[in-house]
Structure 1
Amino acid sequence: MQLPPSRTVANIFHRALTEPGARLMVGGAADVSFDDVMDSWAKTWPDNTETIDLIRDAHREAALNGVDLMAQSPMAEGLTGLVKAIEQAEDTALCAAVRACTKASATLGTLWAREEVAARYIPQLMGDIMWDQWVRVGGLAPAGAAGEAAIAISTVQYLLSPHWAQDLHRYQRLMEAMLAAPAAEPSL
């Protein structure tokens, strides 16, 4: 089964995204301004100027209220900050994050491998926000080092973004319901 085109951006590996993304990974928010990030998204997402304008307005309003949203980002300190988040996580939180991300990837892989189940439910999964926030960027983790890297990235996301972690658990329950009752129409 082939992944359909993304609803959010034509190509997350577009040079306009990878160049500022690499600078963000190395130096964090100190190396890439918010305007640079938005300009890169505008280049790769030309049909959604309204959404980009809304994001710009939200950042501008926050700045007027003395809040630096870039400083609150998980990427504020780049790779150093991400590593620090893992190092400072309590053992139980880190284990829970790894377990949740590994289990969700395995469940997605199992669902994907069962063609009759996948054919029926993948469209429903694609309609969920977690399709773009997780599946497309590492949820369907291949065997080997690439899959381990995908699980590691998901683990960091899980640790740093409680709302994302809650969405992953919700998505996990949805996938489990699909596997358990392929004839039904589960929804959460």
Structure 2
Amino acid sequence: MNLIAWTSFWAANRSLEFPEVAVEIERQLHRYNKDVEELISTVAAGVKNLLSGGQQLALTRTVDVLMEGKPNPELNPILFFYPRAPKSSGNHLRGPFKEAFFFMIGGGNYVEYASLQELDHQQQPVKHVICGTTETLNGGEFVEQFVMQWHNSRPFRCVSNLTVYGTACGFQRKHSACT
């Protein structure tokens, strides 16, 4: 606080005794503390909703259903191999399982990984999921692959100076994609 503001504060509050000033300062700080706590919780909720959309990703739901080991319509298109299951069990697993190893062929990302880690800790008993992908991409790498795929699939179209910015992942390149 600069000297002018400090002087004007005391000039406006000359009649106040020190305990009254301390109480007023404490009241103001408490009010700002509540505002800051509310702001932090709002931002945290917004980030969580941004990352997960407020619901589980399809990948997380699938892993969760598989770990439950119960028949489920979501599992119909999924083939899985469980060597300990009796041959007559068909597509039914005996569960629930506490541990799983999940591997996806293709690109994965941090949001999917974080969603699986959240699944680990939010359920009782705690589930342990080890996940892997053939490639883990950040946002910039994903856009770069997308531009390259687009470049290869559209033969007579020209887009000049397509600028891709992703400062969160450190990606900043300028593409000139003439196809």
TM-score band, normalised by shorter chain: under 0.3
Q: Which has the higher helix share?
A: 1
Higher strand share: 2
Larger Rg computed on CA atoms: 2
